[in-house]
Amino acid sequence: MAVSPFGPGKIFILVGPGGAGKNTLMKAVMPQLDNLSQLATATTRDPRPGEQHGREHIFMDLATFEQWKDNGWFVEFEEVTPEKYYGTPKIALERAFAEGRDLIADIEIAGAERIKAAYPDNVVLVFIWAHQDVLAERMRARGTSEKDIQERLDRAEREYAFAEQCEALVVNDIQTQAADELRSLIERLRNPKPVHA
Ligand code: 5GP
C-alpha cells in the first residue's frame, strides 16, 4: 500500500456473509490491540439493549439522515434492511486517518467497495468466511428457518466472489483461531506507530 494523502490511519473493514461472525470477531480483537476502535456508523434503526450512541452507531431519525446525506457528510450509504439506512461519516474517517488512529468496522459489501474506492491506501478489506455447515449451524442456533438458511447460503456463495477484491481472508469456523488470525493480520498490515522522542 502506498502512502496516503489522508494520513497514516487505517480502517480494517470486515465484510462477508451473515453468520460468518464479523461482529463477534471485531469485538474479540478490539480489546487485544492498542489504537484500534470501532467506527460508529450512522443508522436510522433503534438502539439495541447495551448499545451506546457514538460507540456502535450514531443513531438518528430519517430526517437527520437525509440532511447528512444532502450535506455530503457520508462517504457512502445503503438501505441495508428494508427502511433501515446506514451511512459512513466522512469526518470520522478522515479525522482518524489524519491523526493516525486505526479503526475497525463491519460494513456490507457495496458500501465497503465505495469506501475502498475513496481511500484506497487507508482501507484494508478483510473477507470473513465460514464453511457452509458452520454458517447453517449458526443460523439455526439463531432460530432462522430452513428456507431462509438455504437462501442465505446461496447468497453467501455469490458473495464469496468479493473475497478476490479483499486484501485478506479469514476463515471463521473456530472463533478463537479466527480472532488470533485477525489480530496478527491487523498487526502486520497497520502502519507503525510514530516514535515520540
Ligand atoms: P447492525 O444493525 O447489526 O449494527 O448492522 C447491520 C449491518 O449493516 C452490518 O452487518 C453491516 O454490514 C451494515 N452496516 C453497518 N454500518 C454500515 C455503513 O455505514 N454502511 C453500510 N453500507 N453498511 C453498514
Q: What are the tens digits of pLDDT across the range 92-124?
A: 999 999 999 999 999 999 999 999 999 999 999
- Torsions phi, psi for 59 (to 5 deg): -85, 130
Task: Give the rounded distance of the alpha carbon of 87 from its chain centre.
Answer: 12
pLDDT band for 195, please (50, 70, 90 cuts). Answer: low
Q: Which numbered atom of ligand 1 lies nearest the CA of 78?
A: 22
Q: Which CATH topology does 11-188 take?
A: Rossmann fold (3.40.50)
Q: What is the pLDDT of residues 155-186, one digit of tens each?
A: 999 999 999 999 999 999 999 999 999 999 99
DSSP 53: B
pTM for this entry: 0.94
Q: Which numbered atom of ligand 1 lies nearest the CA of 57?
A: 4
Q: What's the CA-to-centroid distance between 197 and ligand 1, angstroms?
A: 40
Q: What's the CA-to-centroid distance between 43 and ligand 1, angstroms?
A: 8
What is the chain's Cα-based Rg?
A: 17
Among 48, 86, 114, which is best to mutate for testing ligand 1, by the most ligand atoms less than 8 A from CB?
86
pLDDT band for 191, please (50, 70, 90 cuts). Answer: confident
Sorted by where each begins, the domain ranges of the chain are 11-188
Q: What is the pLDDT of residues 23-53, one digit of tens each?
A: 999 999 999 999 999 999 999 999 999 999 9
Angle (deg, nearest 10), helices 132-141 and 146-159: 140
Q: What's the CA-to-centroid distance between 185 and ligand 1, angstroms?
A: 22
Average pLDDT, the chain: 95
